[in-house]
């Protein structure tokens, strides 16, 4: 889901009003997406167009196709999916007819294709990315980057061997809201950052991936054998095909669906692009006891080099998307589509609590000495206080468009993408560590020398 689909002028003004009621004047700003400007620019020359194919046209694949229509110079020339009905869905999302197939290798063999958008279950990422890079195609691969730790490093190696652009699809990395948050943090307004607290809550069957099975879906129109490549063999099961995020054979549960957004957002805002050194998870399967492998609530504590992070996701309460940064000089909070920065009053203050147990004479002497050592500021300076800042995005802003646009710009320029394989691998490993700790019921550590998760 793109940032901004739930923001309205009413709830934005309500949030800023709350900040003002708390005693802080908030400057409200609506940010402007870069891609809206791009739509009014001169047409892209035919020689500069990027011809791409889409592999995977389920819900997210169709989102990517819809977003591509807002990007000048991006041209989809074919689509692929293992479920025949999605061929039509992909063309409808694109708004026109293009060739379709159930065999992605046919598209990779085409010499007129420059790039590939991949939106398939996690367990298929490694194979398709490696095949695309070997075929000389640049790759946009949906988050989470990998299904296993080994997969992520293999994908990086494939892209480097083929000298290909590889961008991972965590769209918050390109969000104008997150860019503003990064600007605030890099300006030093938070002071020393010690804690990041992030959460995402949903409260519906759809939010818990209990998707309806399309009428008529069967082995006659689903390539079940190919779906099971890189996964254990088992009889046809439409529940596993359409609700694959619930099962460890194909997905990563809440970590791979929602943690990855929060971790990638944290990385891009703080500039800390690395693995967590340690993770400890708890949680449980409280409500959606439908045969799934993953919990419907999970909380993880992470150790990063200079701060700690608390990430928790819950499928049993609609709390929205929340990302908060706590520093010695300020607090920055992103709640859904609104960012608010509130400064902390870190000016020197005379002690007024513990001296309550002192004799009156000692209290007065202490306060007199403190005043001598801390003379009042100049009259004008004393009344000028830093105000809170509040930002939001236009109501129909979609950060997926910005993220895809950044990918196609990298394909043209051959410059590194905004979310390369290393960045995507760092967030994916954070997700793998969360799940490993949950299922092993112990804290886990990242072993950089062995490139593995260990429990001791």
Going along the chain from its start, the domains and CATH numbers come out as 1-30+173-214+249-397+421-456 (3.30.360.10), 37-172 (3.40.50.720)
423 and 267 Cβ atoms separated by less than 8 Å:
yes
Q: How confident is the model at residue 28 (pLDDT cuts 50, 70, 90)?
A: confident
Q: How confident is the model at residue 22 (pLDDT cuts 50, 70, 90)?
A: very low
Length of the chain: 456
Task: Report pLDDT for 1.
Answer: 42
Q: How confident is the model at residue 35 (pLDDT cuts 50, 70, 90)?
A: low
Quote the DSSP letter at residue 43. Answer: P
Of the candidates 336, 200, 342, 187, the residue with the CA atom closest to the CA atom of residue 269: 187
Q: Is residue 17 predicted with pLDDT exceeding 70?
A: no
CB atoms within 10 A of CB 318: 12
User: What tens digit of pLDDT does each residue of 137-178 get?
Assistant: 999 999 999 999 999 999 999 999 999 999 999 999 999 999
User: What tens digit of pLDDT does each residue of 52-90 get?
Assistant: 999 999 999 999 999 999 999 999 999 999 999 999 999
Alpha carbons 161 and 415: distance in angstroms, whole number? 16
Strands (E), 233-329: 278-284, 297-303, 308-314, 320-327
Identify the three-state secondary structure at position 346.
coil
Contacts of 324 (CB under 8 A, 6+ apart): 196, 197, 198, 331, 332, 333, 334
* pLDDT higher at 44 or 163: 163
Q: Is residue 24 predicted with pLDDT exceeding 90?
A: no
Task: Report pLDDT for 40.
Answer: 44
- Indicate the helix (H) or strand (E) that contains 60: helix 59-68
Task: Report pLDDT for 27.
Answer: 62
User: What tens digit of pLDDT does each residue of 50-62 get?
Assistant: 999 999 999 999 9
Task: Report pLDDT for 110.
Answer: 97
Report the mean per-residue pLDDT for the chain: 91
Alpha carbons 401 and 404: distance in angstroms, whole number? 5
User: What tens digit of pLDDT does each residue of 103-116 get?
Assistant: 999 999 999 999 99
User: What tens digit of pLDDT does each residue of 175-230 get?
Assistant: 999 999 999 999 999 999 999 999 999 999 999 999 999 999 999 999 999 999 99
Stretch 26-50: mean pLDDT: 70
Task: Report pLDDT for 378.
Answer: 64
Q: How confident is the model at residue 101 (pLDDT cuts 50, 70, 90)?
A: very high
Q: How confident is the model at residue 34 (pLDDT cuts 50, 70, 90)?
A: low
Task: Report pLDDT for 41.
Answer: 54
Q: How confident is the model at residue 32 (pLDDT cuts 50, 70, 90)?
A: confident
Of the candidates 229, 247, 297, the residue with the CA atom closest to the CA atom of residue 434: 297
User: What tens digit of pLDDT does each residue of 228-245 get?
Assistant: 999 999 999 999 999 999
Q: How far is C-alpha 261 from the geometric centre of its chain's CA atoms?
A: 2
Stretch 369-378: mean pLDDT: 87
- Dihedral of CA atoms 23, 24, 25, 29 in degrees, nearest 10, equals -140
Q: Is residue 381 predicted with pLDDT exceeding 70?
A: no
User: Helices (H) and strands (E) in the chain — how many of each?
Assistant: 16, 17
Alpha helices in 341-398 (DSSP H): 360-373, 379-383
Percent of the chain surpassing pLDDT 90: 86
Task: Report pLDDT for 46.
Answer: 76
End-to-end CA distance of the chain: 37
pTM above 0.75, yes or no: yes
């Amino acid at each position: 889901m793109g940032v901004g689909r739930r923001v309205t002028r009413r709830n934005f003004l309500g949030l800023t009003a709350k900040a003002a009621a708390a005693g802080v004047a908030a400057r409200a700003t609506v940010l402007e997406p870069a891609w809206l400007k791009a739509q009014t620019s001169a047409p892209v020359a035919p020689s500069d167009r990027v011809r791409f194919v889409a592999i995977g046209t389920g819900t997210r694949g169709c989102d990517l196709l819809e977003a591509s229509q807002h990007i000048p110079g991006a041209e989809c020339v074919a689509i692929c999916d293992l479920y025949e009905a999605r061929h039509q869905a992909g063309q409808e999302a694109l708004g026109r007819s293009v060739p379709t197939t159930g065999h992605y290798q046919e598209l990779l063999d085409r010499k007129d294709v420059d790039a590939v958008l991949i939106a398939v279950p996690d367990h298929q990422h490694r194979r398709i990315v490696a095949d695309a890079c070997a075929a000389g195609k640049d790759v946009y691969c949906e988050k989470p980057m990998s299904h296993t730790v080994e997969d992520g490093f293999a994908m990086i190696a494939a892209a480097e061997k083929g000298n290909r652009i590889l961008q991972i699809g965590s769209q918050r990395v390109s969000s104008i809201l997150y860019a503003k948050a990064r600007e605030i943090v890099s300006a030093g307004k938070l002071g020393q950052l010690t804690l990041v607290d992030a959460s995402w809550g949903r409260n519906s069957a759809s939010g818990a991936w209990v998707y309806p099975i399309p009428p008529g879906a069967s082995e006659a129109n689903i390539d079940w054998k190919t779906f099971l490549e890189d996964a254990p063999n088992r009889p046809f099961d439409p529940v596993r095909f359409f609700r694959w995020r619930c099962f460890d054979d194909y997905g990563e549960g809440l970590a791979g669906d929602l943690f990855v957004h929060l971790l990638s957002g944290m990385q891009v805002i703080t500039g800390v692009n690395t693995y967590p050194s340690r993770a400890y998870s708890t949680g449980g399967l409280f409500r959606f006891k439908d045969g799934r492998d993953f919990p419907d609530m999970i909380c993880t504590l992470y150790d990063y080099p200079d701060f700690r992070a608390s990430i928790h996701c819950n499928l049993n309460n609609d709390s929205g998307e929340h990302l908060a940064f706590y520093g010695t000089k300020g607090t920055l909070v992103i709640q859904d589509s609104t960012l608010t920065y509130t400064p902390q009053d870190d000016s020197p203050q005379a002690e007024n609590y513990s001296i309550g147990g002192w004799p009156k004479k000692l209290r007065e002497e202490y306060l007199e000495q403190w005043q001598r050592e801390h003379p009042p500021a100049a009259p004008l300076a004393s009344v000028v206080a830093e105000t809170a800042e509040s930002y939001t995005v236009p109501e129909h802003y979609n950060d997926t468009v910005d993220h895809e646009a950044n990918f196609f710009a990298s394909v043209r320029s051959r410059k590194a993408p905004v979310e390369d394989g290393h960045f995507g691998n760092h967030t994916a490993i954070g997700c793998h560590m969360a799940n490993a700790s949950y299922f092993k019921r112990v804290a886990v550590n990242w072993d950089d020398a062995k490139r593995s998760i260990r429990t001791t």
